[in-house]
């Protein structure tokens, strides 16, 4: 019998969650068959059988958190359940032959009175602090009236119940301050419908890291706007030939990636990270591109973006986005990254303040392109396709003037697309 263990999945991953078992106990598997899916903070991992046999036991169930190296199931060597059944049959026969004659049936024991359950066994949903206080004061949670719309009992509800029970002479209230349910037409009550869903491991990790980024970094955001006329003109004139030659569409992301790389070369601190009391200046440009997937936002990385042409950048982004949506990203696709670009404009966002993708110290937010009146000179106004851009940065190592000049550089490079070939 062999143990099924959680494999090592990269230096930054120490645990995962059993997403689902694809094989049931007692089923036969062949070497290489996928046994289960494991969800980690970054990607989903498939764990395969290292040998053929029968899945004897599932040790860790779906939804449980497991650590690297932990046993999550056992697999018996063999060809299938048939051999296991035949092997156990003689033993069962032998046991049957050697077993002593059955004794006379013992009369059932007399019924024993069961003490009433404590407040912890109540069917009511309650917060841990409410349950603790109820135990200390000897209060049954079923008797506590909740002010919560969905009936959850909190510590204040227990305190209020205790006060009312201590003073029995007080007249009963006509109606609760906030009813847990609303009256129906016939005078009965109904519970307002809710649905409780457990966060996926990835969503919980995203939430944790976003909060950590706001708590640990001195994050500020500066804004500017870009006139997209020149880029849209280039795309209009060149898109057909570009696709014919490179078999990929000419999008906006390649322009923005090139502009970001050009600006990072002028302001290297924004391509750095903080390590204790040191600033680590990175001399390479691995640009993270935020992609919305089913389980939440992921940031795959375009490696060495400064060495890539427009077509190579577009192909890399398209490939990574496809992997993200099909949940086939590898850890190597997500690790590292020196700066991030996120495009809320694809969802219609006009303006936002992106949150840092730590340990990076800068992130650029793109937004919706919208026609707005722009002053061409003192006498002329024109409707131009404008985009707001935002740079969130860590003020611990990046000064405000540096952040503003970085964003101005990005703006100037985008408004003069030919310069991207020179500056890049």
Predicted local distance difference test score (pLDDT) of residue 331? 79
Span 257-282, average pLDDT: 95
Span 18-47, average pLDDT: 85
Determine contact, residues 422/262, Cβ cutoff 8 Å. Answer: no
pLDDT of 323 strictly over 70:
yes
Percentage with pLDDT > 90 across the chain? 40
Q: Is the pTM of this model over 0.75?
A: no
Is 399 annotated as catalytic? yes
Q: What is the DSSP letter of 411?
A: H
Nearest-CA neighbor of 381 among 389, 390, 372? 372
Q: Between residues 86 and 310, which one has the greater pLDDT?
A: 310
Span 303-320, average pLDDT: 95
pLDDT of 291 strictly over 80:
yes
Predicted local distance difference test score (pLDDT) of residue 316? 96
Query: Which of 120, 142, 240, 395 is the catalytic position?
Result: 395
The model's pLDDT over 129-153, given as tens digits with 9 standing for 90+, comes to 667 677 778 888 788 887 765 566 7
Span 228-248, average pLDDT: 94
Query: Which of 120, 227, 399, 416 is the catalytic position?
Result: 399
Q: How far is CA 306 from CA 2, 265, 283, 298, 405, in A?
A: 49, 10, 11, 22, 20
Nearest-CA neighbor of 298 among 327, 265, 269, 262? 327
Cα–Cα distance between 393 and 360 in angstroms, integer?
Answer: 9
Predicted local distance difference test score (pLDDT) of residue 114? 38
Is 240 annotated as catalytic? no
Predicted local distance difference test score (pLDDT) of residue 126? 66
């Amino acid at each position: 019998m062999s143990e099924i263990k959680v494999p090592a999945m990269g230096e930054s991953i120490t645990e995962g969650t059993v997403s689902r078992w694809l094989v049931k106990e007692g089923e036969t598997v062949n070497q290489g068959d996928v046994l289960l899916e494991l969800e980690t903070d970054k990607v989903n991992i498939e764990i395969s059988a290292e040998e053929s046999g029968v899945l004897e036991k599932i040790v860790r169930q779906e939804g449980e958190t497991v650590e690297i190296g932990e046993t999550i199931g056992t697999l018996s060597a063999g060809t299938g359940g048939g051999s296991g059944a035949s092997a156990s049959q003689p033993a069962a026969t032998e046991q049957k032959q050697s077993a002593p004659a059955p004794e006379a049936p013992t009369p059932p024991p007399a019924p024993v009175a069961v003490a009433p359950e404590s407040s912890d066994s109540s069917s009511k949903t309650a917060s841990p602090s409410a349950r603790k206080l109820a135990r200390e004061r000897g209060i049954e949670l079923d008797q506590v009236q909740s002010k919560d719309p969905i009936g959850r009992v909190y510590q204040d509800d227990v305190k209020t119940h205790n006060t009312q029970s201590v003073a029995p002479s007080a007249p009963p209230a006509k109606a609760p301050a906030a009813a847990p349910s609303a009256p129906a037409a016939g005078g009965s009550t109904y519970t307002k419908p809710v649905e409780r869903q457990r966060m996926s491991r990835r969503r919980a990790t995203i939430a944790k890291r976003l909060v950590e980024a706001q708590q640990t970094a001195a994050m500020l955001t500066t804004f500017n706007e870009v006139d997209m006329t020149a880029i849209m003109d280039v795309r209009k004139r060149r898109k057909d030939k570009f696709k014919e030659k490179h078999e990929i569409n000419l999008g906006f992301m390649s322009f923005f990636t090139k502009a970001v790389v050009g600006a990072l070369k002028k302001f290297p601190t924004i391509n750095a990270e903080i390590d204790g009391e040191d600033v680590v200046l990175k001399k390479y440009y691995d640009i993270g591109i935020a992609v919305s997937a089913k389980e939440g936002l992921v940031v795959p990385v375009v490696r060495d973006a400064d060495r890539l042409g427009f077509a190579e950048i577009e192909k890399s982004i398209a490939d990574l986005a496809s992997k993200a949506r099909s949940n086939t990203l590898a850890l190597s696709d997500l690790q590292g990254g020196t700066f991030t670009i996120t495009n809320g404009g694809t969802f219609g966002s006009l303006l936002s303040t992106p949150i840092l993708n730590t340990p990076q110290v800068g992130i650029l937010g793109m937004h919706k392109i919208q026609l707005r009146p722009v002053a061409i000179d003192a006498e002329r106004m024109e409707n131009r396709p404008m985009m707001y851009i935002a740079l969130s940065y860590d003020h611990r190592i990046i000064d405000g003037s540096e952040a503003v000049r970085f964003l101005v550089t990005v703006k100037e490079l985008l408004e003069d697309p030919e310069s991207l070939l020179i500056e890049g």
